[in-house]
Structure 1
Amino acid sequence: MLSPVTPATVRGQIQVPLRLDDGYVTNARVIGFEGLCDGREHVALALGDRAVDSPTGTAAVPLVRLHSECLTGDVFGSQRCDCGPQLREAVERISDAGGYLLYLRQEGRGIGLYNKLEAYALQDAGLDTYEANLALGFAKDERDYTVAAQMLLALGVDQLDLLTNNPDKAAQLQAAGIRVNSRVPTGLHLSPVNGRYLAAKAWRGQHFLGIAHSSRSGDRPRRSWS
């Protein structure tokens, strides 16, 4: 359940030139906020240009991704998840389309870094990513996107195209009063070791990945064309 969306404000912003590991370069306007409901230091990256629709004089609908922090994937290139490749994809696609990447401090679907590492150990013992969170006493997904709605409204964004495969992100934003005009899927980022993780996201998390679930731990997910 989302908390009521209370107003937040922009604290400050600064231009930061980005160069990603594969050599891709772009410019980001990194924006901080005051009054966020959870007190954490979330940031928005404004990427690309938002064209003006001349008949109305209004800014084009931005492409937005809500990206939950993943130290292991985003920084160290862990192949256990698809977070790093999704972040890389989002930076380029939003730079091309114009919009915002919200980088949210919600490690491990909201359970924190140390708990996520403990969940990894449970996954190595046979549980899937959601079962591991439940075994540690958490919900399968602890994330609350009220803070994302606060950030977007502080930026003057009340409608958007959402870059995600996760239906819960769209549902929570819409419940908070943000209009999601369309859901734009991200790619399927398979690694040699994340197949079971992705299958669990599709099966238990209802992510739109276009893959079939397999209960055998060593199986890679299969694309489903039905």
Structure 2
Amino acid sequence: MRLPDKSCKIASAIAKIKPGDRVMIGGFGVPGTPMTLIQALVDHGADNLTIIKNDANEPGMGIDHLLQSGQVSRLITTHLGLNTHAISLMNTGQIKVEFNAQGILAERIRAGGAGIGAVLSDIGIGTELAMGKQVVELAGKPHLVETALRADVALIHADRADIFGNLAYVATAQNFNPLMAMAADCVIAETETLLPLGGLAANAIHTAGVFVDHVAELAELSKEYAVVQR
């Protein structure tokens, strides 16, 4: 069986995102954040989005462009501390924000990719993070029921990829990208280098192409990627 060529233009892939979709976006700060896909989503204009991302980047960078354009109605994240604009939107009620402990966010996404409905954790018991969540007792201790997270679309940044969608990341770009690539119905990856099938050694692949629907090569890296030194 011949494996399909999933390479595409960014705009055509992003056009699949609909108003109201849940969109996972990889990255931890700048590393691993698909800046070009985010800008394409701004240009596309789909709104009322729920964005699932570790952080809100900084003002004028990354998902702040989506916040500036008014396309986000809800943000599921771990912190907003570097983005004063995101904090202002939350405080004035223009977006809803759901905070998670960082490990819990990662585990909820992992559970979504693994087909597990929820995980149990004692992290956050007695704090605001527990508000509205179900509590069960396990081994004599209370645990929060942390429901799995899935998305309609995941936007991923890879260092290298082949045309089938096998992906390889560099350094801390391996944070949320591999988890999110397994937890969305449609996965769109941008890559700095696109190789022919077989161009990636099997042991170098971090995300298998079976999880990826579209892969687009970046013509250049914008200045938003510039803080990543290799």
TM-score between both structures, scaled by the size of structure 2: 0.29
Which structure is higher in helix share? 1
Structure having greater relative contact order (Cα 8 Å, sep ≥ 6): 2
TM-score between both structures, scaled by the size of structure 1: 0.29
